[in-house]
Amino acid sequence: MMPMITIEAAQNKIDNKTKPVGSLGLLEETAIQLALVQNTLQPCVAKKRMLVYAASHGIAEEGVSAFPAAVTGQMVENFLHGGAAINILCRHGGIEVHVIDVGVDADFGSTVKFNPVFFDRRVRRGTRNFAKEAAMTEDECQQAMDAGREQVRLARENGVQMLGIGEMGIANTTSAAAIYAALLGIPPEKVAGRGTGVSDEGLQKKQQVIKNALISHHPTHTEPLALYWLSAVGGFEIAAMAGTILEAAHMRVPVVVDGFIATAAAAVAMALDEKVKPVCFFAHCSNEQAHAEALECLQARPLLNLEMRLGEGTGAALAMHLIDSAAKIMCDMATFESAGVSNQNQS
């Protein structure tokens, strides 16, 4: 077994590059984090893959989204035709894309089903309406999480060095907000944002739905609270992303966490296993209400703040460029000694 790289060794390597100590800021911290995850002072993330998990939500019946539920399935087809924002950003960055159906309420034709980057892991045709009953059973939740774990194992087999997680699911900001409210204690009035652009009336309805869910689904037994709330108010795609993070931590694969919904999956994974945080690179602070507070609760520092709130993994795709840059700084930048440059207090 290889000896573990120490944070001191990684810090020493970055400090000896031809620059003032700490002058590359968060890029240096990112390089060190990556070196520790990959257990090497020569970190590399040349082969990258984005995992876009898609699922429909029963809570959409409550009118909490500005878009109809059918858009989830339509966007899956758009992903596979290469026309979505995530496709553009991934093509630009040389990032592979996998689209995983873990619960879309749609009938896909052969052009979808036989697409080599499409994975049919549908648990059922969308979650149940958590305003009326639990979104999923424990078994369904585990099945979705297993679909996320599978993608990490496949990535390892394919030599992928870094994963990104994104999602598609109309009404999933309501599920994510409910998870934050339950696990992080953020009040419904603060945690519920406009998502796809709901009206004032829709926003009030969304807040009320979350308030009611916290009461109606209040746990009565002592299973892991994160799993309980994930099953009660979550989505299949959120469960799958949580499974990805948990398996990535086990296999020491760096994961770039996208925005508001992906961070909710990270909150679940971190509550289930405190060892997962080091493998998580938080891509950006979403413009969605309460994402900044959720990141603060998780003590997570995002790499970017571009006022984005699209999802799909778009923020993660952009952040992958920075993480790759951080790796190259660690590996390729000259040291004072190799470049013949005087260090501080040297003449």
Which residue in this structure is represented by tokens 């036989």? 114
* Residue 168: strand pairing partners: 54
* CA nearest to 289, candidates 212, 197, 196, 193: 193
The answer to whether residues 100 and 240 touch, using CB atoms and an 8 Å cutoff, is yes
* CA nearest to 57, candidates 100, 98, 102: 102
Q: Distance (Å, rounded) from C-alpha 22 to C-alpha 133? A: 51
Q: Distance (Å, rounded) from C-alpha 148 to C-alpha 91? A: 23
Active site residue 77: no
Report the interhelical angle of 172-184 vs 200-216 (nearest 10°).
50
Annotated catalytic residue, options 77, 140, 288, 312: 312
Which residue in this structure is represented by tokens 């911290």? 29
Question: Cβ-count burial of 33 within 10 angstroms (0-12 exposed, 13-18 middle, 19+ buried)?
Answer: buried
Q: Active-site residue numbers? A: 312
